[in-house]
Amino acid sequence: MTAVRTNVFLLAGQAIQPGLVVDLLNLSLGAHAFAVSAADRLGNGTTSTVTFTIIATPESLRVDLARFLQNGAIGDKLSVSLRKKLDAQSGKEVDAQAAATIIGDVQYVMGLCP
């Protein structure tokens, strides 16, 4: 038996460091792939890929908003009409990435409603 010589970890085609904690809130809605490749000293290698899908739910919207408020990505003054304020405040009162994530999640959840 030979020891592993190399490991490569890819998330959505981007290399990530072993042991890195990946915050899935930073991934867009939809399908993603996580791949691990390894090779031994003799050059024998293998790759394993797992696909997963990020979705939004009413509960995930609640949690996402709470996290964005807690980390300062959304200012405390945000209230009344979330969608209008997010559109108007994207990049100002609300971090642009936070606004895009919330808008996408809301649209996804609304699409599930009859």
Q: Taking a C-beta distance cutoff of 8 angstroms, is the pair 15, 37 a contact?
A: no
pLDDT at residue 31 in the model: 94
The full set of domain ranges for the chain reads 4-54, 58-112
CA atoms within 13 A on the CB side of 6: 10
Q: Looking at beta carbons, which pairs linking 20-28 to residues 24 or more positions away fall under 8 Å?
A: 24/54, 25/64, 25/67, 25/101, 26/97, 27/54, 28/54, 28/101, 28/104
Q: Please provide the average confidence, as pLDDT, over all residues in the chain.
A: 79
Beta bridge partners of 8: 37
Quickly tell me which residue has 């409603």 as its tokens: 113
Q: Which residues of the chain have pLDDT under 70?
A: 1-2, 4, 75-87, 89-90, 110-114
Question: What DSSP assignment string belongs to 43-108?
Answer: S-EEEEEEEEEE---HHHHHHHHHHHHHTTSB-TT--S-HHHHHHHHBTTTB-HHHHHHHHHHHHH
Model confidence, pTM: 0.64
CA angle 63–67–71, rounded 5-degree value: 175
